């Protein structure tokens, strides 16, 4: 089955050089168009500076969240190891409880192997 492509998957979609510019024209430049070109260039520069700041903020949020997830994964792994050690240490358990714990311990082994 083919995977559906999103607009964000298009390689040139986010390429800054693919944005059309008004400076490209076959007409000769008038002296008064320099002010308009300066205004448009300043607006583009301001937009790019704002976008860079937004991306930097988003990157720091992503990095912070990745650290939180890593800590959470470490805690869950320690809990799983503790539970596995607890299950291994039990002896003399009735057969029906052993069967139920066997299902859980396979999940714990899967987590520990990960």
- Does residue 54 belong to any structural domain of this protein? yes
- Does residue 18 belong to any structural domain of this protein? no
**Residue with tokens 């057969």, as numbered in its chain:** 95
- Does residue 95 belong to any structural domain of this protein? yes
- Does residue 45 belong to any structural domain of this protein? yes
CA 92, 94, 97, 102 dihedral sign is positive
pLDDT of residue 41: 93
Q: Please give the structure tokens belonging to residue 75.
A: 């805690």
- Does residue 9 belong to any structural domain of this protein? no
Separation between Cα atoms, residue 98 and residue 102, nearest integer Å:
6
Q: pLDDT grade, residue 109 (50/70/90)?
A: low
- Does residue 37 belong to any structural domain of this protein? yes
- Does residue 38 belong to any structural domain of this protein? yes
Domain that holds residue 53: 30-113
pLDDT above 70 covers a percentage of the chain that reads 54
- Does residue 40 belong to any structural domain of this protein? yes
Q: pLDDT grade, residue 32 (50/70/90)?
A: confident
Separation between Cα atoms, residue 80 and residue 85, nearest integer Å:
9
Instruction: List pLDDT tens digits, range 78-93.
Output: 999 988 888 887 654 5
When divided into structural domains, the chain yields a total of 1
Separation between Cα atoms, residue 78 and residue 52, nearest integer Å:
39
């Amino acid at each position: 089955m083919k995977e559906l492509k999103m607009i964000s998957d298009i390689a040139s979609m986010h390429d800054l050089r693919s944005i059309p510019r008004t400076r490209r024209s076959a007409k000769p430049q008038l002296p008064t168009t320099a002010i308009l070109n300066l205004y448009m260039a300043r607006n583009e520069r301001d937009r790019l500076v704002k976008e860079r700041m937004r991306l930097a903020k988003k990157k720091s949020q992503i990095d912070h969240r990745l650290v939180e997830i890593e800590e959470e994964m470490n805690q869950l792994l320690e809990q799983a190891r503790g539970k596995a050690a607890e299950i291994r240490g039990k002896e003399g358990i009735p057969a029906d409880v052993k069967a139920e714990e066997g299902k859980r311990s396979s999940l714990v082994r899967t987590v520990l192997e990960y």
